[in-house]
Each structure stands twice: as C-alpha cells, then as structure tokens.
Amino acid sequence: MSEDTMFALTRPAYVGHAHLVVEDLPKVSAFYQKIIGLSVIEKSANGEVLGVSGKPLLTLTAGQNARRAPSGAAGLFHTAFLLPSREDLALWLKHAANNNVPLQGASDHLVSEALYLADPEGNGIEVYRDRAPQEWSYQPDGTVAMSTLRLDLQALYDSAPKATFATAAEGTAIGHIHLQVGDIPQADAFYQDVLGLKIMARYPGASFFGAGAYHHHVAANIWNSRGAQARSDSMTGLSGYTLRFNEKASLDSALAALDRLEIATERQSDGVALKDPWGIGLKLSA
C-alpha cells in the first residue's frame, strides 16, 4: 500500500469510524459483509462492529422503536469506503455486477473515481479510489479542483483482475463521510471555525471540508435537507462518527473552540463526544 493510498489517513485529522442505527440488523449486516466485503469483528445483544483486517470501520445497532428517517432529514448522505487502488475498485465493480447490485451513480471527480449505491435501508454508500495527490490541481487559496464527470464503467470493469472478490482489500478505510444538513453557512461555521477543517471545495448547496490538503474528510449538503432540524434519537441512519486526530495541536484547538463556544461535550474513555448542530453524534479522539 502506497503513501498516496494512505494520504487521507495521514492528515492531521481523518474519519475513523461510522455508526448506523438500523431496523433489520441481520439484513443490513449481511449486505455490508457480502457486498462491501466487511467482516464481523464484534457482536453484542443489539449490534455488530464490522471492519477490515480487524480494524473497526462500521458499527450497526438495532435501534429499539427505531423509525425510518425521512429522506429530507439531517444525517447521512453517504459513507465513503476508500479502496487502496484502482485495481481494487475495478474488482469491486465486477463483484457488484456479478451480484446484480444496482448502482446509483458513477463519477470521475478529478481527485478520485467513485461508485454510488445504497444499503437495504437506503443509507448511501460511496466506494472509491483516490488518484495520487500529485495529480490533483490546487488553487492559489489552497482549495482543490473537483468536478463530477462521467466515469467509464465499462473500461473500469474491463480492467478488473481475474481474481474473485472475497473480502474488502486490506487497507480499505472510511475515506470521508458526507452529511445531509439544514444550512451550509452553519455547517461552514461548525466544521471550519470550530473543528478546524478547511473548506477544500464548494458545489452549489454543498461544502467539502478536509484536513492537511485532502480533498475532503467531511462534506455537507442541503440538496435534500434544506432547513432540516436536529435529528431525533429514534431515527434510523447515521447515529454518529469518529474524527481521529494525528496531531495533538489540532485536537486541542478543536476542544478549546468547543469550550469557548460552550458547546456541550462528554469526556469518554476513548475521546470527547458531542453532537453537531443537527444532532449527529461526533467523537473526537487522538
């Protein structure tokens, strides 16, 4: 695995883990195992932790009295699984085709190539690979050139190795998480001014936030959710995610901003828990 592949994870901060509340745990878990290639690492009475090579990436919890979140609710737009190489992406595409998995989209974003789908309960998923950062184009202000161009699926499929997909490639990680929020200026204020992520790109109705010149670790849009209020605890979908810090100074700066703005936090053994302006759980950890 190259340093380029790991670029997203070597930045001052990166997304480590996501937590979904679901209605049908066995069905959703089976999907992430069979289709995404995750493995069960841990089981409890009402949930499972899935990951790759023993590294936890996704927690699924069967919510008691959970109700399906409406499409316009704040929460998850997609969880983005970053694969180590284009070869891995091509092999996954062949696997998806062989299992008749319907794709919702396929895009060349200049910095990456991405495939889009949803799990059985409608939680969005992106499966992607990054181009080498040396191939990205940065603007004078530090933002990165991104676009949404057609991805040639046939060419990608034809490039797949002869191997059979069994499990997600070692090194697969959550490269970023894309959120539905109620207001973009409010998202900018929270993710940039409080958590210290930099706005790396803007689309109409969306901002992309990254650490250490990565194209984005967190994105927020209002395409379906303009004006959305805080999530209720009984909703299915994204309960929360973890933002891990490789640099103590970046973590300390975020914690100082939370204290200064009197944003409620809870110190836990593995980090500091809080909720964003839309009730999405967030854990900051070293």
**Residues 110 and 145: beta-carbon distance below 8 Å:** yes
Tens of pLDDT along 87-138? 999 999 999 999 999 999 999 999 999 999 999 999 999 999 999 999 999 9
Using CB atoms within 10 Å of the CB of residue 268, give its burial: 0 to 12 exposed, 13 to 18 middle, 19+ buried: exposed
Please give the share of the chain, as a percent, with pLDDT higher than 90.
Answer: 95
d(CA 103, CA 93): 10
Q: Give whole-number Cα distances, 37 to 40, 207, 258, 275, in Å.
A: 10, 30, 37, 30
The maximal CA–CA distance of the chain, rounded, in angstroms, is 56
- Strand locations in the chain (E): 13-22, 39-44, 47-52, 55-62, 75-82, 105-108, 112-118, 124-130, 149-150, 173-180, 198-203, 206-210, 218-221, 237-245, 266-268, 271-275, 281-285
Tens of pLDDT along 203-237? 999 999 999 999 999 999 999 999 999 998 889 99
Stated as kind and residue range, the H or E segment containing 86 is: helix 86-98
Instruction: Give the pLDDT of residue 64.
Output: 79
Identify the bridge partners of residue 72 per DSSP, sorted by sequence position. Answer: none
Tens of pLDDT along 6-27? 899 999 999 999 999 999 999 9
5 band by pLDDT with thresholds 50, 70 and 90: low
The closest of 125, 142, 49 to 83, measured between CA atoms, is 125
d(CA 262, CA 271): 18
d(CA 192, CA 211): 10
d(CA 75, CA 70): 10
**Per-residue pLDDT at 2 exceeds 60:** no
Mean pLDDT throughout 33-60? 97
Tens of pLDDT along 190-199? 999 999 999 9
Q: How are the residues of the chain apportioned to helix, strand and coil, as percentages rounded to the nearest 5?
A: 20, 35, 40
**Residues 191 and 176: beta-carbon distance below 8 Å:** no
63 band by pLDDT with thresholds 50, 70 and 90: confident
Measure the N-to-C terminal CA separation of the chain; round to a whole number of Å. Answer: 23
The closest of 165, 203, 255, 171 to 77, measured between CA atoms, is 203
Return all residues near 223 (Cβ < 8 A) that are at least 6 apart.
77, 180, 205, 206
66 band by pLDDT with thresholds 50, 70 and 90: confident
How many whole angstroms from its chain centre is CA 49? 16
Return all residues near 14 (Cβ < 8 A) that are at least 6 apart.
8, 211, 214, 217, 243, 244, 246
Looking at every residue in the chain, the average pLDDT score rounds to 96
